[in-house]
Amino acid sequence: MRLLGYMTALFMVCASTPLAIAQSGMNAAIDDPYVPRLADIMSIVQLRHMKLWFAGSSPNWELAAYELRRLKASLVDAASLYPGIPATSVTTMAAPVQSIAEAIEAKDSQKFATAFGDLTVACNACHQSIGRSFIVMRVPTASPFSDQVFPPQPK
């Protein structure tokens, strides 16, 4: 519950102060600020959505936790840089993200799979609400990442 509250607050803060955050992200090169396009952030979200699935279903909980953090960060970037995205569509992501975090913590594969399905429904809900109903996500069926090992390896 604590994480959910935190995420919701984070999403709300980011959604309401887009300019300040966009500017604070611009300190890498003053003359040549780079703000990623929303579709580019979403392509990274897509990549992490897939990696999260293959990590969690391997199961490699450590990698899954990492990918979930990265996925959250990309969603926060999207909300902060693109205030035109309805805040409610972003906050609806918070509940499934929290459930996935709990499943990872509990190493619960069943809960992970259910929560991942809910997350994917929430991706599509935003796409539908924003005139992009032709972008339809689903639970991935085969990994395109032949250069990355998903099952946990001996340390």
Contact residues for ligand HEC, defined by CB under 6 A: 38-39, 42-43, 45-46, 49, 85, 89-90, 93, 119, 123, 126-127, 130, 132, 135, 137
User: Tokens 């509940």 identify what position?
Assistant: 95
Neighbours of 62 (CB within 10 A): 11
- Tokens 């990590």 locate to 55
Shortest gap between Cβ of 126 and ligand HEC (angstroms)? 3
Nearer to ligand HEC by Cβ, of 138 and 152: the residue is 138
Question: Please, which contacts does 127-136 make with residues 24 or more away whose CB atoms are closer than 8 Å?
Answer: 129/86, 129/89, 130/85, 130/86, 130/89
- Residue with Cβ nearer ligand HEC (29 or 142): 142
Rounded Cα distance between 82 and 88, Å, is: 13
Q: Which is nearer to ligand HEC, 10 or 42 (CB)?
A: 42
Nearer to ligand HEC by Cβ, of 60 and 115: the residue is 115
